[in-house]
Amino acid sequence: MTEAQMAYVDCSPLMRSLLDEIGSPGDMKVYEGDPSPSELAVLIADAAVVLNGHTKMDDALLARAPLLRSIVFLGTGAASYVDLAAADRRGIRVRTIRGYGDRTVAEHAFALLLAAARNIAAMDRNMRAGQWAVSEGIELRGRTLGLIGLGGVGSEMARIGASFGMHVIAWNRSGIPAGVPARSVALEELLGASDAVSLHLALVPETNGLLDGLRLALLKPGVVLVNTARGALIDEAALIAALRSGAIGHAALDVFSSEPLPADHPLTMLPNVTLTAHAGWKSRQASDRLLRMALDLATDDASKIVAGQSLST
């Protein structure tokens, strides 16, 4: 093969501007926006390497891309968009990107915690509606922050929490990484002792529904629960029930079991919930790192394809 065609199938305006700054491989096709099914099929028909930000790629679509050997997914949640089993059957490598947004996501998680602790979203809504209602807040210094998961994001969250004077405890399946200011505890102890709990786990079969009704019942009364990881980590029905009863003081959520969150979803009706639109990862700095890492992976795979080398998985 003399060249390996690359295609970026769903380039956003932000990524387009970053791509112009960084410089893209000269032969890479770039589709700005979200392609229709027919446009997508044309885009990948002769592609060997595809960059995919959020586009569904099922077995039927992959069957229309006979030259495709590598999909570089811009993020970690490829399984939500790409039929991984079908890709494997067809000899297509699916690559994901980690670490690019650790600090950005952690800052968003802590921003949600601050917003919940001071009831900022509710006061904003009230003032826009002409109501001057002063909410009582929580001072975070001296409070206990419980982190479930201490990967890159969780570790950054621990550092931010410690810098605010919070006592940071954590449950992590592989222990506490060196240099992270957190004390290791059992999950049940964390749930009962924390004034605020923040989730930073990958969604795998073992963590799906990790915070079910029984575990949510262990939470300290009035706790603030933050989730910027994956919606399915929490039993949504049990969470809504606990919020309605007041057992959970406030939930600050960036991720949901179903996205986009429907406008009439019960979570949108509760006053003790702060919502953001799965935006924790989105900063220009994180996006720049993400795009550079994706281009490195894509060009590396393209070079190997041209050289006739196998793509290790």
Cα(112)–Cα(149) distance, rounded to whole angstroms? 17
CB-facing half-sphere around the CA of 230: CA atoms within 13 A? 18
* Pairing assessment for the beta strands 6-11 and 49-52 based on DSSP bridges: parallel
Q: Which amino acid is at 225?
A: L
Q: Among residues 278, 284, 289, 292, which one is catalytic?
A: 278
Q: Tell me whether residue 266 is exposed, middle or buried, using C-beta atoms within 10 angstroms of its C-beta: 0 to 12, 13 to 18, 19 or more.
A: middle
The verdict on whether 189 is a catalytic residue reads no
For the chain, where are the E strands, in sequence order? 6-11, 29-32, 49-52, 70-73, 93-95, 144-148, 167-171, 183-184, 196-199, 223-227, 248-253, 273-275
Q: In the block, which residue shows the tokens 């915070």? A: 211
Contacts of 109 (CB under 8 A, 6+ apart): 153, 157, 198, 200, 226, 228, 254, 280
Q: Among residues 139, 244, 259, 284, which one is catalytic?
A: 259
Cα(100)–Cα(102) distance, rounded to whole angstroms? 6
The verdict on whether 206 is a catalytic residue reads no
The DSSP 8-state label assigned to residue 57 in this structure reads B
Cα(301)–Cα(93) distance, rounded to whole angstroms? 9
Cα(121)–Cα(88) distance, rounded to whole angstroms? 45
Cα(11)–Cα(277) distance, rounded to whole angstroms? 19
The verdict on whether 289 is a catalytic residue reads no
**Shortest CA distance to 238 belongs to which of 259, 211, 264?**
211
Q: Among residues 69, 230, 250, 289, which one is catalytic?
A: 230
Q: Phi and psi of 61, rounded to 5°? A: -70, -45
Catalytic residues: 230, 259, 278
